A = this chain, B = another copy of it.
Amino acid sequence: MDKVIRINVGADGGPTVTEETLGKYAGFGGRALTSAVVCGEVPPTCHPLGPENKLVIAPGLVSGSAASTSGRLSVGCKSPLTGGIKEANAGGQAAQYLGRLGIAAIVIEGEHSGSDLYKITINIDGVKVETDNSLAMLPNYDLCEKLKDVHGDGVAVISIGPAGEMKMSNSTIAVTDPEFRPTRHAGRGGVGAVMGSKGVKAIIVDPGGTKIRKPVNPEKFKAANRTFVEGLKQHGVTGQGLPTYGTNVLTNVLNEAGGYPTYNFKEGRYEGAADLSGETQATLEDERGGAGSSTHGCHRGCGIQCSGTFYDKDGNFVTKQPEYETVWAHGGNCGIRDLDVVAKLDFMDDNYGFDTIEMGVTIGVAMDAGVIEFGDAEAAVRLVEEAGKGTPLGRIIGAGAATAARCFGIERAPVVKGQAMPAYDPRAVKGIGVTYATSTQGADHTAGYAVAPNILKVGGDIDPLSHEGQADISRNLQIATAALDSTGFCLFVAFAILDQQETFDAMVETINGMLGTELTGESVVELGKAVLTMEREFNAAAGFTKEHDRLPSYFSREPLKPHGVVFDVPAEELDSVYAF
Protein backbone atom coordinates (compact mmCIF):
# COMPACT_ATOMS: atom_id res chain seq x y z
CA MET A 1 0.00 0.00 0.00
CA ASP A 2 2.27 2.75 -1.18
CA LYS A 3 0.43 4.47 -4.02
CA VAL A 4 -0.15 8.19 -3.88
CA ILE A 5 -2.78 9.46 -6.31
CA ARG A 6 -2.43 13.13 -7.18
CA ILE A 7 -5.30 14.89 -8.83
CA ASN A 8 -4.48 18.35 -10.13
CA VAL A 9 -7.70 20.24 -10.72
CA GLY A 10 -5.81 23.24 -12.05
CA ALA A 11 -4.15 21.67 -15.07
CA ASP A 12 -4.80 23.18 -18.51
CA GLY A 13 -7.46 21.17 -20.28
CA GLY A 14 -8.98 19.77 -17.11
CA PRO A 15 -7.93 17.70 -14.13
CA THR A 16 -4.99 15.34 -14.45
CA VAL A 17 -4.23 12.23 -12.46
CA THR A 18 -0.73 11.08 -11.62
CA GLU A 19 0.33 8.15 -9.57
CA GLU A 20 3.51 7.98 -7.52
CA THR A 21 4.84 5.96 -4.64
CA LEU A 22 5.10 7.28 -1.12
CA GLY A 23 8.76 8.16 -1.58
CA LYS A 24 9.85 10.47 1.20
CA TYR A 25 6.57 9.81 2.98
CA ALA A 26 7.25 6.05 3.25
CA GLY A 27 6.28 4.57 6.62
CA PHE A 28 3.57 7.16 7.17
CA GLY A 29 -0.16 6.51 7.12
CA GLY A 30 -3.33 8.20 8.29
CA ARG A 31 -2.75 11.43 10.19
CA ALA A 32 1.05 11.13 10.01
CA LEU A 33 0.76 11.05 6.24
CA THR A 34 -1.85 13.78 5.80
CA SER A 35 0.07 16.07 8.14
CA ALA A 36 3.41 15.29 6.49
CA VAL A 37 2.03 16.17 3.06
CA VAL A 38 0.36 19.34 4.32
CA CYS A 39 3.48 20.39 6.22
CA GLY A 40 5.72 19.55 3.29
CA GLU A 41 3.67 21.00 0.46
CA VAL A 42 1.21 23.64 1.67
CA PRO A 43 2.50 27.17 2.41
CA PRO A 44 1.40 27.79 6.02
CA THR A 45 0.23 31.34 5.31
CA CYS A 46 -1.84 30.46 2.25
CA HIS A 47 -5.60 30.93 2.18
CA PRO A 48 -7.41 27.66 3.01
CA LEU A 49 -9.72 28.09 0.01
CA GLY A 50 -6.96 29.20 -2.35
CA PRO A 51 -5.00 27.24 -4.92
CA GLU A 52 -2.01 26.59 -2.63
CA ASN A 53 -3.98 24.47 -0.20
CA LYS A 54 -4.19 20.69 -0.74
CA LEU A 55 -6.67 18.11 0.41
CA VAL A 56 -5.05 14.87 1.52
CA ILE A 57 -7.10 11.72 2.17
CA ALA A 58 -5.29 8.77 3.70
CA PRO A 59 -6.29 5.44 5.23
CA GLY A 60 -4.30 4.28 8.24
CA LEU A 61 -1.22 2.08 8.12
CA VAL A 62 -3.17 -1.15 8.57
CA SER A 63 -6.51 -0.12 7.02
CA GLY A 64 -7.75 -2.66 4.50
CA SER A 65 -6.30 -5.53 6.47
CA ALA A 66 -7.92 -7.97 8.88
CA ALA A 67 -6.61 -5.93 11.83
CA SER A 68 -9.60 -5.34 14.04
CA THR A 69 -11.19 -1.89 14.22
CA SER A 70 -8.73 -0.32 11.80
CA GLY A 71 -10.94 1.36 9.23
CA ARG A 72 -10.35 5.00 10.08
CA LEU A 73 -9.75 7.54 7.34
CA SER A 74 -7.70 10.71 7.82
CA VAL A 75 -8.40 13.92 5.94
CA GLY A 76 -5.81 16.69 6.10
CA CYS A 77 -5.44 20.26 4.81
CA LYS A 78 -5.04 23.79 6.08
CA SER A 79 -8.30 24.40 7.91
CA PRO A 80 -10.78 27.04 6.74
CA LEU A 81 -12.14 27.13 10.28
CA THR A 82 -8.95 27.44 12.34
CA GLY A 83 -6.40 28.71 9.85
CA GLY A 84 -4.06 26.02 11.15
CA ILE A 85 -3.34 22.46 10.15
CA LYS A 86 -6.24 20.05 10.21
CA GLU A 87 -6.63 16.32 10.45
CA ALA A 88 -10.24 15.20 10.59
CA ASN A 89 -10.93 11.55 11.01
CA ALA A 90 -13.85 9.39 9.92
CA GLY A 91 -15.05 5.82 10.01
CA GLY A 92 -17.01 4.25 7.17
CA GLN A 93 -15.92 1.89 4.45
CA ALA A 94 -13.56 4.07 2.41
CA ALA A 95 -10.35 3.51 4.37
CA GLN A 96 -10.64 -0.27 4.08
CA TYR A 97 -11.30 -0.08 0.35
CA LEU A 98 -8.45 2.36 -0.29
CA GLY A 99 -6.14 0.07 1.67
CA ARG A 100 -7.21 -2.90 -0.43
CA LEU A 101 -6.55 -0.84 -3.57
CA GLY A 102 -3.02 -0.17 -2.33
CA ILE A 103 -3.65 3.54 -2.08
CA ALA A 104 -1.87 5.27 0.77
CA ALA A 105 -3.16 8.74 -0.08
CA ILE A 106 -5.20 10.82 -2.47
CA VAL A 107 -3.88 14.37 -2.85
CA ILE A 108 -6.19 16.90 -4.47
CA GLU A 109 -4.31 20.03 -5.49
CA GLY A 110 -4.19 22.98 -7.85
CA GLU A 111 -6.41 25.91 -8.68
CA HIS A 112 -9.97 25.09 -9.59
CA SER A 113 -11.43 27.72 -11.86
CA GLY A 114 -14.97 27.86 -13.10
CA SER A 115 -17.83 26.07 -11.44
CA ASP A 116 -17.60 22.54 -12.82
CA LEU A 117 -18.08 19.77 -10.28
CA TYR A 118 -15.98 16.65 -10.46
CA LYS A 119 -16.75 13.05 -9.65
CA ILE A 120 -13.71 10.87 -9.12
CA THR A 121 -13.96 7.12 -9.49
CA ILE A 122 -11.19 4.90 -8.16
CA ASN A 123 -11.12 1.20 -8.85
CA ILE A 124 -8.70 -1.59 -9.59
CA ASP A 125 -8.18 -0.24 -13.11
CA GLY A 126 -7.21 3.25 -12.03
CA VAL A 127 -8.63 6.70 -11.42
CA LYS A 128 -11.14 8.59 -13.53
CA VAL A 129 -12.15 12.23 -13.10
CA GLU A 130 -15.40 13.26 -14.74
CA THR A 131 -17.33 16.50 -14.76
CA ASP A 132 -20.83 15.92 -13.42
CA ASN A 133 -22.73 19.10 -12.74
CA SER A 134 -25.92 17.13 -12.19
CA LEU A 135 -24.62 16.46 -8.69
CA ALA A 136 -24.55 20.16 -7.78
CA MET A 137 -25.99 21.01 -4.38
CA LEU A 138 -27.22 17.48 -3.75
CA PRO A 139 -27.32 16.68 -0.04
CA ASN A 140 -25.26 13.63 0.88
CA TYR A 141 -28.12 11.15 1.16
CA ASP A 142 -29.59 12.19 -2.19
CA LEU A 143 -26.16 12.07 -3.71
CA CYS A 144 -25.62 8.50 -2.51
CA GLU A 145 -29.01 7.45 -3.85
CA LYS A 146 -28.07 8.85 -7.21
CA LEU A 147 -24.60 7.33 -7.21
CA LYS A 148 -26.03 3.93 -6.23
CA ASP A 149 -27.85 3.79 -9.54
CA VAL A 150 -24.54 3.96 -11.36
CA HIS A 151 -22.06 2.35 -8.99
CA GLY A 152 -24.17 0.03 -6.84
CA ASP A 153 -23.85 0.01 -3.09
CA GLY A 154 -20.73 -2.11 -2.92
CA VAL A 155 -18.54 0.96 -3.19
CA ALA A 156 -17.64 3.62 -0.67
CA VAL A 157 -18.40 7.27 -1.30
CA ILE A 158 -16.40 10.19 0.05
CA SER A 159 -18.46 13.31 -0.60
CA ILE A 160 -19.44 16.82 0.30
CA GLY A 161 -22.92 18.20 0.75
CA PRO A 162 -24.12 21.71 -0.05
CA ALA A 163 -22.09 23.08 2.90
CA GLY A 164 -18.82 22.04 1.30
CA GLU A 165 -19.91 23.28 -2.10
CA MET A 166 -20.75 26.64 -0.55
CA LYS A 167 -17.28 26.58 1.05
CA MET A 168 -18.65 27.05 4.52
CA SER A 169 -16.17 26.99 7.38
CA ASN A 170 -18.37 24.38 9.00
CA SER A 171 -18.50 21.68 6.36
CA THR A 172 -17.63 18.01 6.50
CA ILE A 173 -16.49 15.28 4.20
CA ALA A 174 -18.93 12.39 4.43
CA VAL A 175 -18.01 8.72 4.16
CA THR A 176 -20.55 5.97 3.60
CA ASP A 177 -21.00 3.24 6.18
CA PRO A 178 -21.60 -0.48 5.49
CA GLU A 179 -25.25 0.27 4.61
CA PHE A 180 -24.07 2.84 2.03
CA ARG A 181 -25.38 5.71 4.12
CA PRO A 182 -23.32 8.92 4.39
CA THR A 183 -23.28 8.78 8.18
CA ARG A 184 -19.58 8.95 8.97
CA HIS A 185 -17.89 12.32 8.69
CA ALA A 186 -14.49 13.87 8.73
CA GLY A 187 -16.29 16.52 10.65
CA ARG A 188 -14.13 19.16 12.10
CA GLY A 189 -12.33 22.18 10.74
CA GLY A 190 -14.25 22.76 7.53
CA VAL A 191 -12.47 20.14 5.42
CA GLY A 192 -15.54 19.95 3.16
CA ALA A 193 -14.95 23.52 2.04
CA VAL A 194 -11.46 22.61 0.87
CA MET A 195 -12.85 19.72 -1.17
CA GLY A 196 -15.46 22.16 -2.47
CA SER A 197 -12.79 24.71 -3.35
CA LYS A 198 -11.20 22.05 -5.56
CA GLY A 199 -14.53 21.40 -7.27
CA VAL A 200 -14.66 17.78 -6.12
CA LYS A 201 -18.15 16.61 -5.16
CA ALA A 202 -17.62 12.88 -4.69
CA ILE A 203 -14.96 10.21 -4.72
CA ILE A 204 -16.23 6.70 -5.38
CA VAL A 205 -13.92 4.02 -4.08
CA ASP A 206 -14.72 0.69 -5.68
CA PRO A 207 -13.00 -2.32 -4.09
CA GLY A 208 -14.23 -4.70 -6.82
CA GLY A 209 -11.60 -7.32 -7.62
CA THR A 210 -9.41 -6.47 -4.63
CA LYS A 211 -8.63 -8.66 -1.69
CA ILE A 212 -8.00 -7.98 1.93
CA ARG A 213 -4.39 -6.89 2.49
CA LYS A 214 -2.04 -9.75 3.30
CA PRO A 215 0.15 -9.56 6.41
CA VAL A 216 3.91 -9.75 5.94
CA ASN A 217 4.04 -12.10 8.90
CA PRO A 218 0.67 -13.89 8.97
CA GLU A 219 1.17 -15.93 12.12
CA LYS A 220 2.41 -13.08 14.22
CA PHE A 221 -0.39 -10.93 12.87
CA LYS A 222 -3.11 -13.47 13.55
CA ALA A 223 -2.01 -14.15 17.11
CA ALA A 224 -1.55 -10.51 17.98
CA ASN A 225 -4.84 -9.47 16.42
CA ARG A 226 -6.63 -12.19 18.42
CA THR A 227 -5.14 -10.93 21.68
CA PHE A 228 -5.99 -7.38 20.66
CA VAL A 229 -9.64 -8.26 20.02
CA GLU A 230 -9.85 -10.13 23.30
CA GLY A 231 -8.51 -7.08 25.05
CA LEU A 232 -11.19 -4.90 23.49
CA LYS A 233 -13.91 -7.32 24.57
CA GLN A 234 -12.52 -7.54 28.05
CA HIS A 235 -12.39 -3.83 28.86
CA GLY A 236 -15.48 -2.31 30.43
CA VAL A 237 -15.71 0.64 28.05
CA THR A 238 -14.91 -1.04 24.72
CA GLY A 239 -16.46 -4.39 25.64
CA GLN A 240 -19.63 -3.25 27.34
CA GLY A 241 -20.30 0.50 27.69
CA LEU A 242 -19.81 1.51 24.07
CA PRO A 243 -21.53 -1.48 22.40
CA THR A 244 -24.50 -1.29 24.77
CA TYR A 245 -25.19 2.43 24.86
CA GLY A 246 -22.96 3.94 22.21
CA THR A 247 -21.00 7.05 23.04
CA ASN A 248 -24.12 8.60 24.50
CA VAL A 249 -23.42 6.58 27.63
CA LEU A 250 -21.55 9.75 28.58
CA THR A 251 -24.54 12.06 29.00
CA ASN A 252 -25.37 10.96 32.52
CA VAL A 253 -21.72 10.60 33.41
CA LEU A 254 -20.76 14.13 32.40
CA ASN A 255 -23.94 15.60 33.82
CA GLU A 256 -23.26 13.93 37.15
CA ALA A 257 -19.73 15.30 37.04
CA GLY A 258 -21.05 18.82 36.51
CA GLY A 259 -19.11 19.11 33.30
CA TYR A 260 -22.01 18.95 30.83
CA PRO A 261 -22.04 22.34 29.07
CA THR A 262 -25.56 23.69 29.13
CA TYR A 263 -27.08 26.78 27.49
CA ASN A 264 -23.98 27.72 25.53
CA PHE A 265 -21.57 26.81 28.31
CA LYS A 266 -23.40 28.79 30.98
CA GLU A 267 -23.98 25.88 33.37
CA GLY A 268 -22.43 22.49 33.97
CA ARG A 269 -25.52 20.42 34.63
CA TYR A 270 -28.70 20.13 32.59
CA GLU A 271 -32.07 19.46 34.14
CA GLY A 272 -33.15 17.64 30.98
CA ALA A 273 -30.15 15.33 30.71
CA ALA A 274 -32.09 12.19 31.61
CA ASP A 275 -34.26 12.67 28.54
CA LEU A 276 -31.17 12.64 26.35
CA SER A 277 -29.08 9.94 27.99
CA GLY A 278 -27.73 6.79 26.40
CA GLU A 279 -29.89 4.79 28.76
CA THR A 280 -33.03 6.57 27.57
CA GLN A 281 -31.84 6.15 24.01
CA ALA A 282 -31.34 2.40 24.56
CA THR A 283 -34.85 2.06 25.96
CA LEU A 284 -36.20 3.89 22.94
CA GLU A 285 -34.25 1.59 20.65
CA ASP A 286 -35.63 -1.47 22.44
CA GLU A 287 -39.17 -0.13 22.08
CA ARG A 288 -38.80 0.80 18.44
CA GLY A 289 -36.57 -2.08 17.34
CA GLY A 290 -35.16 -2.13 13.82
CA ALA A 291 -32.02 -3.52 12.27
CA GLY A 292 -28.76 -2.34 13.77
CA SER A 293 -30.54 -0.05 16.16
CA SER A 294 -27.70 -0.75 18.56
CA THR A 295 -24.38 -2.60 18.43
CA HIS A 296 -23.46 -1.73 14.89
CA GLY A 297 -20.03 -1.00 13.42
CA CYS A 298 -19.32 2.13 11.42
CA HIS A 299 -17.09 -0.03 9.23
CA ARG A 300 -16.75 -3.76 8.69
CA GLY A 301 -14.17 -5.36 10.91
CA CYS A 302 -14.93 -3.19 13.91
CA GLY A 303 -14.41 -5.03 17.21
CA ILE A 304 -16.26 -2.48 19.35
CA GLN A 305 -19.54 -1.77 17.57
CA CYS A 306 -20.37 1.52 19.27
CA SER A 307 -22.66 2.82 16.58
CA GLY A 308 -26.29 2.18 15.83
CA THR A 309 -29.32 3.28 13.90
CA PHE A 310 -32.05 5.64 15.04
CA TYR A 311 -35.62 4.89 14.01
CA ASP A 312 -38.68 7.03 14.59
CA LYS A 313 -41.69 5.81 16.53
CA ASP A 314 -43.12 4.26 13.38
CA GLY A 315 -39.95 2.33 12.72
CA ASN A 316 -38.68 4.51 9.88
CA PHE A 317 -34.96 5.19 9.55
CA VAL A 318 -34.07 8.65 10.80
CA THR A 319 -30.31 8.71 11.10
CA LYS A 320 -27.41 6.83 12.61
CA GLN A 321 -27.48 6.57 16.38
CA PRO A 322 -26.41 10.10 17.33
CA GLU A 323 -23.08 10.31 19.11
CA TYR A 324 -22.78 11.74 22.59
CA GLU A 325 -21.25 14.97 21.31
CA THR A 326 -24.10 15.39 18.82
CA VAL A 327 -26.77 14.71 21.43
CA TRP A 328 -25.10 17.23 23.70
CA ALA A 329 -24.51 19.86 21.00
CA HIS A 330 -28.09 19.91 19.81
CA GLY A 331 -29.51 18.81 23.16
CA GLY A 332 -28.30 20.24 26.44
CA ASN A 333 -26.21 22.95 24.89
CA CYS A 334 -29.32 24.32 23.18
CA GLY A 335 -31.75 23.41 25.97
CA ILE A 336 -33.49 20.87 23.74
CA ARG A 337 -34.42 17.71 25.65
CA ASP A 338 -35.88 15.61 22.88
CA LEU A 339 -33.96 12.76 21.26
CA ASP A 340 -36.23 12.76 18.22
CA VAL A 341 -35.36 16.38 17.53
CA VAL A 342 -31.69 15.66 18.09
CA ALA A 343 -31.89 12.74 15.66
CA LYS A 344 -33.56 14.90 13.06
CA LEU A 345 -30.85 17.54 13.42
CA ASP A 346 -28.19 14.84 13.20
CA PHE A 347 -29.67 13.66 9.91
CA MET A 348 -29.84 17.22 8.56
CA ASP A 349 -26.23 17.85 9.55
CA ASP A 350 -25.09 14.66 7.82
CA ASN A 351 -27.19 15.40 4.80
CA TYR A 352 -26.06 18.98 4.26
CA GLY A 353 -22.56 18.15 5.44
CA PHE A 354 -22.21 19.99 8.74
CA ASP A 355 -20.15 19.01 11.74
CA THR A 356 -22.68 18.37 14.51
CA ILE A 357 -20.45 19.81 17.24
CA GLU A 358 -19.73 23.04 15.40
CA MET A 359 -23.39 23.30 14.36
CA GLY A 360 -24.78 22.71 17.83
CA VAL A 361 -22.40 25.20 19.39
CA THR A 362 -23.21 27.75 16.70
CA ILE A 363 -26.93 27.37 17.37
CA GLY A 364 -26.15 27.80 21.07
CA VAL A 365 -24.33 31.04 20.25
CA ALA A 366 -27.31 32.21 18.18
CA MET A 367 -29.56 31.42 21.14
CA ASP A 368 -27.26 33.26 23.52
CA ALA A 369 -27.33 36.25 21.17
CA GLY A 370 -31.13 36.23 21.21
CA VAL A 371 -31.51 35.29 17.54
CA ILE A 372 -33.70 32.36 18.64
CA GLU A 373 -34.70 31.13 22.10
CA PHE A 374 -32.97 28.41 24.08
CA GLY A 375 -35.07 25.27 23.85
CA ASP A 376 -36.82 26.26 20.63
CA ALA A 377 -36.45 23.03 18.65
CA GLU A 378 -38.35 24.26 15.61
CA ALA A 379 -36.15 27.32 15.36
CA ALA A 380 -33.04 25.16 15.66
CA VAL A 381 -34.26 23.00 12.78
CA ARG A 382 -34.92 26.12 10.77
CA LEU A 383 -31.41 27.42 11.38
CA VAL A 384 -29.85 24.21 10.06
CA GLU A 385 -32.19 24.33 7.08
CA GLU A 386 -31.19 27.90 6.33
CA ALA A 387 -27.54 26.93 6.63
CA GLY A 388 -28.07 24.07 4.20
CA LYS A 389 -29.76 26.40 1.74
CA GLY A 390 -27.19 29.16 2.17
CA THR A 391 -29.61 31.95 3.05
CA PRO A 392 -27.91 34.97 4.62
CA LEU A 393 -28.68 33.71 8.14
CA GLY A 394 -27.56 30.29 6.99
CA ARG A 395 -24.27 31.72 5.81
CA ILE A 396 -23.64 33.01 9.32
CA ILE A 397 -24.58 29.68 10.90
CA GLY A 398 -22.53 27.72 8.37
CA ALA A 399 -19.47 29.79 9.15
CA GLY A 400 -19.26 28.29 12.62
CA ALA A 401 -19.51 29.49 16.20
CA ALA A 402 -16.69 32.03 16.23
CA THR A 403 -17.92 33.83 13.13
CA ALA A 404 -21.53 33.68 14.29
CA ALA A 405 -20.55 35.30 17.59
CA ARG A 406 -18.72 38.01 15.68
CA CYS A 407 -21.68 38.63 13.39
CA PHE A 408 -24.11 38.73 16.30
CA GLY A 409 -21.78 40.90 18.38
CA ILE A 410 -21.37 38.73 21.47
CA GLU A 411 -18.34 37.67 23.46
CA ARG A 412 -19.46 34.18 24.50
CA ALA A 413 -18.05 32.02 21.70
CA PRO A 414 -16.73 28.79 23.26
CA VAL A 415 -13.95 28.26 20.75
CA VAL A 416 -10.21 27.79 20.60
CA LYS A 417 -8.36 28.70 17.42
CA GLY A 418 -11.79 29.37 15.93
CA GLN A 419 -13.11 25.84 16.49
CA ALA A 420 -16.04 25.08 18.78
CA MET A 421 -15.52 23.23 22.04
CA PRO A 422 -17.13 19.83 22.31
CA ALA A 423 -19.27 18.33 25.05
CA TYR A 424 -17.05 18.74 28.09
CA ASP A 425 -16.82 21.98 30.01
CA PRO A 426 -13.16 22.84 30.45
CA ARG A 427 -13.76 24.41 33.86
CA ALA A 428 -15.08 21.16 35.36
CA VAL A 429 -12.93 18.80 33.29
CA LYS A 430 -9.71 20.72 33.30
CA GLY A 431 -7.69 18.06 31.54
CA ILE A 432 -9.80 18.37 28.43
CA GLY A 433 -9.50 22.14 28.80
CA VAL A 434 -5.75 21.75 28.45
CA THR A 435 -6.29 19.71 25.29
CA TYR A 436 -8.72 22.29 23.88
CA ALA A 437 -6.23 25.05 24.54
CA THR A 438 -3.08 23.43 23.26
CA SER A 439 -4.11 21.02 20.52
CA THR A 440 -2.80 21.76 17.05
CA GLN A 441 -6.38 21.24 15.86
CA GLY A 442 -8.28 23.89 17.82
CA ALA A 443 -10.75 22.83 20.51
CA ASP A 444 -11.07 19.08 20.01
CA HIS A 445 -11.80 16.35 22.52
CA THR A 446 -10.41 13.60 20.31
CA ALA A 447 -6.97 15.25 20.18
CA GLY A 448 -6.18 14.13 23.72
CA TYR A 449 -9.16 12.69 25.54
CA ALA A 450 -8.32 13.66 29.09
CA VAL A 451 -11.93 12.91 29.98
CA ALA A 452 -10.69 9.33 30.36
CA PRO A 453 -8.43 9.88 33.40
CA ASN A 454 -10.44 12.90 34.66
CA ILE A 455 -13.92 11.37 34.65
CA LEU A 456 -13.89 7.75 33.49
CA LYS A 457 -10.81 6.86 35.51
CA VAL A 458 -9.32 5.11 32.53
CA GLY A 459 -5.59 5.46 31.97
CA GLY A 460 -5.20 7.15 35.34
CA ASP A 461 -7.19 9.01 37.97
CA ILE A 462 -6.73 12.77 37.98
CA ASP A 463 -9.08 15.12 39.84
CA PRO A 464 -10.98 16.93 37.07
CA LEU A 465 -11.47 20.07 39.17
CA SER A 466 -7.83 20.64 39.97
CA HIS A 467 -5.30 22.02 37.53
CA GLU A 468 -2.62 19.70 38.84
CA GLY A 469 -1.33 17.02 36.56
CA GLN A 470 -3.58 18.01 33.67
CA ALA A 471 -0.80 19.22 31.40
CA ASP A 472 0.99 15.90 31.80
CA ILE A 473 -2.03 13.77 30.96
CA SER A 474 -3.02 15.98 28.06
CA ARG A 475 0.51 15.77 26.67
CA ASN A 476 0.65 11.99 26.92
CA LEU A 477 -2.79 11.56 25.42
CA GLN A 478 -2.09 13.98 22.56
CA ILE A 479 1.03 12.01 21.72
CA ALA A 480 -0.75 8.66 21.90
CA THR A 481 -3.63 9.98 19.81
CA ALA A 482 -1.41 11.38 17.08
CA ALA A 483 0.20 7.95 16.78
CA LEU A 484 -3.08 6.07 16.88
CA ASP A 485 -4.63 8.36 14.25
CA SER A 486 -1.83 7.29 11.97
CA THR A 487 -2.47 3.57 12.23
CA GLY A 488 -6.08 3.39 11.11
CA PHE A 489 -7.15 2.00 14.46
CA CYS A 490 -10.17 3.68 15.96
CA LEU A 491 -9.40 6.07 18.78
CA PHE A 492 -11.74 4.08 21.01
CA VAL A 493 -9.22 1.25 21.27
CA ALA A 494 -7.39 3.71 23.51
CA PHE A 495 -9.64 2.86 26.45
CA ALA A 496 -8.39 -0.72 26.35
CA ILE A 497 -4.77 -0.10 25.47
CA LEU A 498 -4.38 2.59 28.13
CA ASP A 499 -5.55 0.26 30.87
CA GLN A 500 -4.25 -3.07 29.61
CA GLN A 501 -0.58 -3.27 28.72
CA GLU A 502 -1.04 -6.61 26.93
CA THR A 503 -3.69 -5.08 24.68
CA PHE A 504 -1.35 -2.22 23.81
CA ASP A 505 1.46 -4.67 23.08
CA ALA A 506 -0.89 -6.76 20.94
CA MET A 507 -1.89 -3.71 18.93
CA VAL A 508 1.75 -2.88 18.23
CA GLU A 509 2.44 -6.50 17.28
CA THR A 510 -0.61 -6.50 15.00
CA ILE A 511 0.97 -3.61 13.10
CA ASN A 512 4.35 -5.34 13.07
CA GLY A 513 2.82 -8.59 11.86
CA MET A 514 0.96 -6.76 9.15
CA LEU A 515 3.76 -4.53 7.89
CA GLY A 516 6.88 -6.43 8.86
CA THR A 517 8.00 -3.52 10.98
CA GLU A 518 9.75 -3.65 14.33
CA LEU A 519 7.78 -0.98 16.13
CA THR A 520 7.94 -0.85 19.90
CA GLY A 521 5.89 1.03 22.44
CA GLU A 522 8.64 3.61 22.43
CA SER A 523 8.65 4.03 18.67
CA VAL A 524 4.88 4.53 18.71
CA VAL A 525 5.41 7.37 21.16
CA GLU A 526 8.14 8.79 18.93
CA LEU A 527 5.78 8.69 15.96
CA GLY A 528 3.17 10.59 17.96
CA LYS A 529 5.70 13.21 18.96
CA ALA A 530 6.91 13.57 15.39
CA VAL A 531 3.37 14.15 14.13
CA LEU A 532 2.59 16.74 16.79
CA THR A 533 5.90 18.50 16.25
CA MET A 534 5.40 18.95 12.54
CA GLU A 535 1.80 20.07 13.03
CA ARG A 536 2.86 22.59 15.60
CA GLU A 537 5.61 23.90 13.35
CA PHE A 538 3.08 24.36 10.58
CA ASN A 539 0.85 26.33 12.92
CA ALA A 540 3.73 28.48 14.13
CA ALA A 541 4.64 29.28 10.53
CA ALA A 542 0.97 30.14 9.96
CA GLY A 543 1.19 32.70 12.77
CA PHE A 544 0.09 30.83 15.88
CA THR A 545 1.76 31.62 19.18
CA LYS A 546 1.28 30.55 22.76
CA GLU A 547 -1.37 33.26 23.04
CA HIS A 548 -3.48 31.06 20.78
CA ASP A 549 -3.02 28.14 23.21
CA ARG A 550 -5.53 29.72 25.57
CA LEU A 551 -9.23 29.44 26.27
CA PRO A 552 -11.41 32.52 25.79
CA SER A 553 -10.94 34.70 28.84
CA TYR A 554 -14.50 34.32 30.07
CA PHE A 555 -13.77 30.72 31.05
CA SER A 556 -11.40 32.14 33.65
CA ARG A 557 -13.90 34.77 34.72
CA GLU A 558 -17.33 33.12 34.83
CA PRO A 559 -17.66 30.34 37.43
CA LEU A 560 -19.48 27.23 36.29
CA LYS A 561 -22.30 25.72 38.29
CA PRO A 562 -22.62 23.41 40.20
CA HIS A 563 -18.99 23.42 41.27
CA GLY A 564 -18.39 27.14 40.99
CA VAL A 565 -15.13 26.55 39.17
CA VAL A 566 -13.25 28.59 36.62
CA PHE A 567 -10.52 27.46 34.25
CA ASP A 568 -7.38 28.09 36.22
CA VAL A 569 -4.66 26.00 34.61
CA PRO A 570 -1.69 28.41 34.71
CA ALA A 571 -0.27 29.63 31.42
CA GLU A 572 3.09 28.03 32.14
CA GLU A 573 1.44 24.64 32.56
CA LEU A 574 -0.36 25.08 29.23
CA ASP A 575 2.96 26.04 27.68
CA SER A 576 4.57 22.90 29.12
CA VAL A 577 2.37 20.56 27.08
CA TYR A 578 4.64 20.67 24.05
CA ALA A 579 7.84 20.49 26.08
CA PHE A 580 8.85 17.03 24.91
Contacts and interface: CB of A to CB of B under 8 A. Distances in A.
A406 interface: yes
B553 A50 contact: yes
Contacts of A51: 557
Contact of A550 (B45, B395, B406): B45
A541 B168 CA distance: 30
Contact of A47 (B46, B411, B541): B411
A11 interface: no
A576 interface: no
A20 B46 CA distance: 48
A166 B409 contact: yes
Interface of A is mostly: loop
Given A403-B407, A406-B169, A52 B553 contact: yes
Contacts of A166: 409
A49 B552 CA distance: 12
Contacts of A409: 49, 166-168, 193, 196
B547 A47 contact: no
Nearest to A52: B553
Contact of A395 (B407, B552, B554): B407
A114 interface: no
Contacts of A399: 403, 406-407
A391 interface: yes
A291 interface: no
Interface in A42-96: 43-47, 49-52, 80
A16 interface: no
A346 B196 CA distance: 37
Interface in A540-554: 541-545, 547-548, 550, 552-554
A396 interface: yes
Query: In the assembly, how many copies of this chain are there?
Result: 2
A44 B550 CA distance: 12
A407 B411 contact: no
B553 A411 contact: no
Interface residues of A, number: 42
A79 to B, nearest CB: 12
Interface in A391-417: 391-393, 395-396, 398-399, 403, 406-411
A406 B406 CA distance: 12
Q: Which of A393, A545, A550 has the most CB of B within 10 A?
A: A545
Q: Which of A49, A169, A406, A545 has the most CB of B within 10 A?
A: A406
A398 B392 CA distance: 13
A399 to B, nearest CB: 5
Contact of A406 (B44, B403, B553, B557): B403
Nearest to A395: B407
A396 B393 CA distance: 9
Contacts of A541: 547
Nearest to A50: B411
A46 B553 contact: yes
A547 B542 contact: yes
A47 B415 CA distance: 12
Nearest to A165: B409
A230 B406 CA distance: 48
Interface string A7-34: 0000000000000000000000000000
A553 B167 contact: no
A81 to B, nearest CB: 9
B554 A50 contact: yes
A414 to B, nearest CB: 12
A49 B410 contact: yes
Interface in A518-547: 541-545, 547
Contacts of A543: 544-545, 547-548
Contacts of A406: 80, 169, 399, 403
Contacts of A167: 409-410
A550 B543 CA distance: 10
Nearest to A167: B409
A564 B543 CA distance: 29
Contacts of A196: 409
Nearest to A571: B45
Contacts of A50: 411, 553-554
Contacts of A169: 406
Contacts of A544: 543
A539 to B, nearest CB: 10
20 contacts: A43-B553, A44-B547, A45-B547, A45-B550, A47-B552, A47-B553, A49-B410, A50-B411, A167-B409, A196-B409, A391-B392, A395-B396, A395-B408, A399-B406, A403-B403, A403-B407, A542-B547, A543-B544, A543-B545, A543-B547
Interface of A: 43-47, 49-52, 80, 166-169, 193, 196, 391-393, 395-396, 398-399, 403, 406-411, 541-545, 547-548, 550, 552-554, 557
